[in-house]
Structures are given as structure tokens and as C-alpha cells.
Chains A and B, each alone.
Chain A
Amino acid sequence: MSQPTLYADRAEWSDVVPIEQYESTTPLAPIFYKNEYKDATNYFRGIAKTGEKSQRVLELTEHLIRLNPAHYTAWQYRYETLLAIGSNFEDELRLMDELAITHLKTYQVWHHRRLLMLKICKPARELDFIAKTFKVDAKNYHTWSYRQWILAYFNDNELWSGELDFVEDLLYADIRNNSAWHHRFFTVFQSGVHDGEEDRERVLKRELIYVKQSISLVPNNASAWNYLRGLLEHNSIPYSRVITFIQPYTLSMDEQTADLVDLDNPPPSKGAHLPCALAIEFLADIYEAEGGDSMLNATELWKSLGNEYDVARKKYWEYRIREGLRAIQT
């Protein structure tokens, strides 16, 4: 592969005075820069000093960003240059489509995108773009955070209308994708009431069925149980409201008695690994909330978690038992 021509050797850059990085004789954690980076940063420091904002600065900063996508000053200067010379932000966004996929985990890539979107104000295409990046990594924190920002900031009914289907597709691909579960919670409960979602009773019922069916399919999935807890708490519904649903999951396969199809309380699927520790924990929480004699039921369940079903967290279950017993005594 041929080396790119250094700025130092390019006639069109000869008017810029490059500035070497100042470094003391015993630096901490110095980086052994390759020449290409050293040369590009020399010219970038030179440009930043004169304050030049021009087309060639866009080329230089793009080059630098490709070499080091975390160079936040290059991003900052690039954005100021785009503004100063009246660049087309949509062209910039298309360039970012490529850079975002290459540097999915770099904070600056997403920050720059937000700045562009604040100018362009066309959020719908962003949702499609993000969906594409999820094919590479469906749990990328920056990407999710960006999607949540797009939705909350532009907050337009059109934008929200596809979110539930979007989440369902992701959960269909990976039922344990906690980012998708979180996004569902955000969409349904934390971002206001969207078009078609005005009947909150119906929404609540739909969500309960959705999460119960998911648990029925794959009981050992903390994301789904957290969602169930979250939606009950958010709507001030006591956990005990779902006790009929929970109970079969706390028993072994042999102990299952459900023979009728109860749509409100879907039973564990045939191949489920039972009893499910997350269900036992949930049931214990119900007993704990009841207090009184039920606390003893709770402590029995915590004991079974510590000794058998969730041994890795033995210390935690012992702590819950101590706390529970203390609550009865006082």
C-alpha cells in the first residue's frame, strides 16, 4: 500500500506553518506516533493557530478523524468549519454514516451527529440509519442513547409510531437484549402518551401480556423480569397482582398443574428450565410485602435460592433473610 503524501510535501499546503507538538523530555504515556499522524496533527495545530476555516480544513480534519476518531478538537474544529463556510450538512451526515459504522464505539462520532441533526432537523432517516447499525451491534450504548435522544428531542408522533414494532423485531432476534427491553419501557412509559396509546388501561394490559408471554417462552431472562417489575411499579400495581402467573414458574416441571389455557397467565413452555430463580425471587418479594406470617414464606424461598437455585448470590439471600426477620421483630 502506498503511503499517503504528507502535507509537508504538498504544494497546496505550503502556505501553512506546521506546528510540532510540544512534549517535555520525560512525558507520561507518550504515543509513538506514525509519521502520517504526526504530519496531519502538525498541520492541524498550524491551522487552529491561524483560525483558517475552509474546504481544505474539512479534508484535513476528516483525515485526522480517520486516524484518531477520539480527537475531540478535530471534531470541534470541523464542526465550526462546516458552520463558517456554509457546508451542506446532509453531505456531512452521509460521510458520518460511513464513519459511525467504522467507529461505532467512539463518543465523538455520535456527538457530531447530534450537532448535525440539530441543524438538519430530519430525524426520520436517523431511525432507519440506527436500525442498520444494530445489524452490527444491537447493544451499542452510544447508538441507543442517540436513538433515545432523537425521539425525545424531536418528539413527533410519526417518529414514535414505529418504535414498538422496531423493539419487537429486535427482541424476536434476541429475547435477552436488555437494551431493547429498556427502549420498550422508555417508549411505552417514559416519553409521554403517543398517538394510539391514549387508553392507558389497554396499554398496560397489552404490556403485561407481552412480558408474560415472553417469560413463558424463556423464563430465565432477567431483562423480562425487570421489565415486569418496572411496569408494575411505574403503574403503582402491587406485585401480588401477578401471583397466579408467577407461581408455576417457582415449581419444578413435575409439579406443573396447569392444563387449561389461561391467556392471562401463560404457563412455562415445555422445555423451560424450572424452577426459575427469578420467579422465586419475585414470589418472595410478594410475601415480603405482605409481611406478618408471610415473611416466613419469603425466608423459606430466600433459603432455597441461597442453598440451591442461586448459590452464587448466597450472601445476598442470607442478607435478605436477616433483613426480613428484623422487619418482623420490629
Chain B
Amino acid sequence: MSGIPPATSEHFYLPPLARAAHAGHVKRCLLGLPDSQVDLDSGRMAIAFYCLGSLDLLKMLQDKTSQTDRESWKEWIWEQQTCGKYGSGFRPSPFMASSMPSEGTRYTDYDTPHIIMTYTALLTLAILRDDFSRLEKQGILLLLKACQRKDGSFSTIPGSGETDLRTLYCAFVISHLLNDWSGVDVDRALFFIASCRSYEGGYGQSPYCEANGGTTYIAMAAIRLAPSNSNPLSLSEIRKTIDWAVHKQHRSGGFCGRTNKIADACYCFWIGASLKILGAGNLVDSRSLASFLASCQFKFGGIAKAPGEHPDPYHTYLSLAALSMFPPPQYDNDTNSSTWAFESLDPLINARGETADWARSHIAIQG
């Protein structure tokens, strides 16, 4: 980290946010990833979300992509919607697909829809302003049902034992967007969330696990999304979670994900959004946060997890999402100020406000 004055100093200087360069980074990734990233093969839908989501937050989607591309990307996403014995949903990519999905083809046990990928597909389609007329809503409810386990948690794909809090959050957002909670047992799910709470005040990814920023976000957002009337957390529990979260902001302005770890750009979103959901967003030091994220910018575009590291769509998107919640204060005489301006973000489903509204109004099951 060179040349960055301490964020608390009187002479606060923020370099520009290289918006065009960051758009360039995610656009390159949208068009193709090198073989060295082959481990993203079974998670491409999420990468597409981070890339298109970044363009959406930057408000550059229209300028940087053509209408034709946007239409064919929608088609690609719809091609991943698949139905079969466990219900319907989206696959991460055609990594196990041998033929173009057509009416009547049903998935095998090796090509099932995936809950996390269904969540990212819905958000990405909303970013592309799809009308969702092709969405198999009832089938998705069946998929959620098939993936919920006895302990209240959700597996990523039907029949798998791979389960943790992440998938539960995605199932909740999907139910919220469908405006239909019949696919999930909410009480059991909330019980599972409670069992992941740690003595530190944050949440781990499974029962007995260490408190972590990502899973704390998921717990807070899921509790808020749940259709129950009362918050299952006591006032003192909420205060403890706020205290834990606030202490994750480093002097550098960045957030770390666990006690005594180093700051990482993604936790600026995960923990920042947790605080926002808890009504404590004003406790984040947005000036030093921006200063940290400025230092994570890669010189050829994209934002990395920490200064000096290589950028990727995940950290780029989450950094921009954090800035959408916590834009740094504007200074009249600072010409760089305008590069840090964003529209507001919906912290619960993790999308730009307008995109979140689109998703809610077009995905919901009517009547």
C-alpha cells in the first residue's frame, strides 16, 4: 500500500474510482476466462452475475453491451433452466450438458438445478430486464422443498449433503422474489440459523463454526427476509452482532471477515451489508472504506481482495456493492468525488434498487 494517507487525516485524498477500467475488467471476463480459472466451470452463473451486476451498479450496462448481446445472454441463462424429478431451477452452466435443452428433456441426477445458481440466475435476468414469462415458478418451489433438510438447512443440489448457510439464504431470496414461501419450512430454517450463532456475536457457516462475515450477512438477511412477524433476535443479541461487525473494520478502512484476520474487499460488502440490515449502517466509516477499496484497484481494471493482489469479478462486484451502500462523503472541491457516486443498493437481495424492484414485480407469483 503506497501513497495512501491515513483515512483519518485532515487532508483526505481519494484517487478516482476507475469506473471505465472496472467495467472493462468484468466485460473481459464475461467474454471469456482463461483455462487457469477452470475451477469456475461449475459456478459460471455466479460469475455472470458478478460481471453483469458490476456493470449494473456502474450504470454502464447499456453503454458497454449491445442489445443483441443482452438478448443472447438472456437466452443462455434460460437454457440453463431445467426441470425434472426434483422440480425446476437453473444449472451453473452447461458443464454437464450434452444437448440443447428442449421442451420435454428432463435432467439426470448429474445435471440437476442448483439453488445458489438459481438465485444468481434470477438476479442476472432482472439486471437484463427479462420479463420472466418463461420462469417455472411452481417447479422452483418443488426444488426448494427437495433441497431442505431435516435440520432446516438446504443442500445446494437435490440429494447432496453439501449444505451450509449460503444455500439457505438463496432459498429465502428465491421465496421472497416469488412471494411464495410454500417451498420452505421457515421455522426450521430459522432454527438452523440460530444454531450457527457464535459466542462472538457473528455466525458460522454451520453449527459450531467460527463467526465469519459472509455467513453473518446471510443470517441477518435471511432473518429479515423471513415472512414471520417478529425478529427472533433479542435486543442484546442484535447489539452484540453490531459490536462484532463494527470491530471488523480495520484502521485501513477495509473489513476483515473474522477476528484478527486481515482486511479483504469482499467483507466490506458482507459486513457492511449486515450492519445496514441491522439499521447500523451509519456506524461504518465510509471515508476510510472508500480509501481501502481505492487501494485495492488493479491498475488495468478490476478490484482485488487486497492491495497488490489480482482482481476478479467477485471482489469487483462486492466492492462496488459496498460503495453503493456507503458512498464516501462528497467534497465540492474534489474533482474525483463524482467517480465514487452510486445509486442505492438493496442489501437484502444484493442488487441495485431499481433492479431489485424489477425482480420483485416480475418474479412474484400472482394471486
Contacts and interface: CB of A to CB of B under 8 A. Distances in A.
- Indicate whether A and B interact: yes
A69 B37 CA distance: 11
Interface string A134-150: 00000101001100110
B296 interface: no
Given A22-B94, A48-B96, A222-B259, A28 B73 contact: yes
B260 A148 contact: no
A205 to B, nearest CB: 19
Interface stretch (A32-40, A160-168, A254-262, A265-273): A32-40
Contacts of A313: 246-247, 249, 283, 285
A234 interface: yes
Interface residues of B, number: 73
A144 B283 contact: no
Give the top 7 A-B pairs by smallest Cβ distance, nearest first.
A230-B199, A26-B72, A28-B48, A182-B210, A178-B259, A19-B98, A70-B39
Contacts, number: 191
Interface in B96-114: 96-100, 108, 110-111
B208 A24 contact: no
Interface of B: 8, 29-35, 37-45, 47-48, 51-52, 69, 72-73, 75-77, 79, 93-100, 108, 110-111, 156-157, 160-162, 198-200, 204-212, 244, 246-247, 249-251, 253, 258-261, 280, 282-285, 288
What does DSSP make chain A's interface, helix, strand, loop or mixed?
Answer: helix
A28 B77 contact: yes
A280 B35 CA distance: 52
A283 to B, nearest CB: 15
Nearest to A174: B260
Contacts of A319: 280, 282-283
A30 interface: yes
Contact of A226 (B33, B200, B249, B250): B200
A264 interface: no
Given A28-B44, A31-B35, A73-B96, A312 B249 contact: yes
B37 A31 contact: yes
A174 to B, nearest CB: 9
B366 to A, nearest CB: 29
A31 B209 contact: no
A76 interface: yes
A41 to B, nearest CB: 7
A43 interface: no
A186 B208 contact: yes
Nearest to B313: A29
B72 A31 contact: no
Contact of B260 (A115, A141, A221): A221
A68 B92 CA distance: 15
B260 A177 contact: yes
Contacts of B288: 312
B79 A33 contact: no
A115 B98 CA distance: 28
Contacts of B43: 70
